[in-house]
Structure 1
């Protein structure tokens, strides 16, 4: 294992990730189920996630503050089959992931128990350390434990780093959602 790879040791209630950050220095992160007491920090991170999207495309995305008004992580902490995991480094939450398990029903497809990754975020200075990968793996473990056979997520086509990351996590294209700007024809 080279010095740039992270090592994930377990998927018990806590997952420890150790990352070699320089020749002599290791940084350690713990992935654990989020708690109600962490809600303010988690919502701040959710706001930061949506603010990053908004800053890149303000005509498309709501501001972080407006997005958090519509999405509250508290819902994931109390609803059955909903999950929130936090990445913690030196007693600071540096990332999180939210997801849920549900029965996918479709007029065309067989019903199936699936997991859905709804949000994932890592603070910019903690990126490329294996934290997001560990968060995804931890959530996938919960999906499997709750009977899911597939994991789904939505990602914007212009978000090339996310597309690359998810491809490295073995996600593949499933459906395409197309859009067209409508204009009045004279």
Structure 2
């Protein structure tokens, strides 16, 4: 197994939409109302929305493939593409999603390492992200990476207002 990470382009739009919907649904469907989930998917992962994000020079999508199979993806934001204003020289990890059949293979760690690499290349002071307060596996993963809770914000999923913890890792705290 040799994972390969590649930068997504607008030519990857439909593949990005498919894996985005699949991985978000696999991760959160069991804990959310189906209508709220569908409303979110229809908005967040619509072709116009993803086109806008792919065309934003401050947003970066990466695919990870293993043996020519798409296994997951990563979305990073800088500058005004960030979803919070608290980190003017930060890099936001907006999404790390791995297909369910490829979890526990170190691919999330690999995409996290890619995030650190991009942050270093862009001379960012910190990495940060929002993670749902009930997503225990993700919270545990990021805690092991050295992230600490900074604050929290609302995450709207359809008509359901949920709480995301904002976690931060300063560049000087990064585990190498």
TM-score, length-scaled by structure 2: 0.73
Match of 1:76 among 53, 57, 66: 53
Partners of 1:83 and 1:139 within 8 A in 2: no
Q: Do residues 31 (structure 1) and 5 (structure 2) align?
A: yes
CA–CA separation in structure 1 for the residues paired with 2:47 and 2:147: 27
Q: Which residue of 2 aligns with 1:94?
A: 71
Query: Structure 1 residues 71, 120: CA separation in 2 closer, same or farther (over 3 Å shift)?
Result: farther
Gaps of 5+ in 2: 156-160, 162-176
Q: Which residue of 1 aligns with 2:142?
A: 166
1:99-128 deviation per Cα after TM superposition (whole angstroms, max 9, x unaligned): 11117886xx7x731111111110111111
Q: Give, in angstroms, the shift of residue 98 of structure 1.
A: 0.3
Match of 2:96 among 120, 123, 133: 120
Larger radius of gyration: 1
Compare relative contact order (CA 8 Å, sep 6+) and give the higher one, 1 or 2.
2
What do you get for the CA RMSD once the two structures are aligned?
Answer: 2.8
Q: Do residues 146 (structure 1) and 122 (structure 2) align?
A: yes
TM-score, length-scaled by structure 1: 0.69
Aligned length: 151
Partners of 1:99 and 1:116 within 8 A in 2: yes
Query: Structure 1 residues 91, 72: CA separation in 2 closer, same or farther (over 3 Å shift)?
Result: farther
